[in-house]
Amino acid sequence: MLRPWRIDDAAGLQAASTVSGDLAAQLGAIELSTIARCETFITDNLATATVSRQNFAISVDGIAVGNVGIGSMEHRHGTGWVYYWTSAEVRGQGLATLALASIADWAFTEQGLYRLELGHRTNNPGSCRVAAKAGFSAEGVERQKLKYGTERFDVETHARLRTDAPPLRAAERVLAVDGLANARDLGGIPRRSGAPTLPEACPFVRKTLTRPPPGGVSICTRRASAPSSTCASPASARATPSRDPLG
C-alpha cells in the first residue's frame, strides 16, 4: 500500500540504498549509510509535504521498499511531475506500476490535477515499462538533459491526462493511498481499451532491448553496464523555472 513516510522507515530506506546502487544518484547523491542519516533524509525530504509536493512510501508488510511522489503540483494549470523508485529486492513484481497508477488516481481525484508528466533516460527500459503500463504515453525526447558524472543522457518524457483511459480497473488495484482509499486484492491487470501498449508507448524500449549496449541495459542513474531499474527522475530533472528542482 501507499502511505506517508515515517521515521521508523529509516531501516527500510537504508536497506534499499544498500542493495540498490542506482539510488545514490537518483536521490541526489545523499549519504544513506546510517540509520541517523536516513532518519534525517526522511524528515527533511520524504515525510515533509508541501502544497506542491507529496511523497508516499511503497510499503510491503509494513516495510518501506520504495517511493512514489508528485512534485511541481501547479493548480492553475492542473499539472504535476511524477517520480518513483523501488528497492532492487522487489523490482519486477509490478509494485512501481501499481504505485504510479494509484498516485495518478489520487492526483486526479483528490488534488484536481489534469495532466501528470514523468521522465526517464532513454536507455532505461525498466522505467519506460512502468510508465506505459500505468497509462503514461511517451510524448518526446529531450536531448542531453541529464548529467551523471561526465556523461549526458537523453530523457524520454511521458504524460497521462485525467481523461485518458485508465490502465487498471479500480477494483483490481492492490495499492491504495492510505487514508484516501481502501486497498483491494489484486485479481489481474488486464489492459483497458485505449490504454497504450508497450511498443507504441515506448519506442526506446524496443530499440534498447533489441540492441543492448555491451554488458546489458542501463538503469536510470548509472552507466550502461548495470541492470535496468524502475526509476523515474524526480522533478529536479525539469529545466523550467516553474518546476521544483528535484534530481
Residue 222 is predicted with a pLDDT of 29
- Reference 232, options 67, 90, 106; nearest CA is 67
Asked if the 2-237 domain carries CATH number 3.40.630.30, the reply is yes
d(CA 54, CA 107): 10
pLDDT tens column, 56-102 = 999 999 999 999 999 999 999 999 999 999 999 999 999 999 999 99
C-alpha span between 71 and 24 (Å, rounded): 19
Model confidence over 94-133: pLDDT tens digits? 999 999 999 999 999 999 999 999 999 998 899 999 999 9
Q: How far apart are CA 205 and CA 226, in angstroms?
A: 16
Round to the nearest angstrom and report the end-to-end CA distance of the chain.
Answer: 25
Residue 215 per-residue DSSP state: T
Strand order in the sheet with 137-148: 2-3, 54-60, 63-74, 79-86, 115-121, 151-161, 137-148
Q: Is the pTM of this model over 0.75?
A: no
For residue 88, which of 2, 16, 162 has the smallest C-alpha distance? 16
Tens digit of each residue's pLDDT (9 = 90 or more) over 184-229:
332 233 333 444 443 344 444 433 333 333 333 222 322 333 334 5
Mean pLDDT, rounded, for 166-184: 49
Burial 195-213 (b: 16+ CB within 10 A, else e): bbebeebbebbeebeeeee
Cell reading at 52: 506542491
pLDDT in tens, 133-154: 999 999 999 999 988 878 899 9
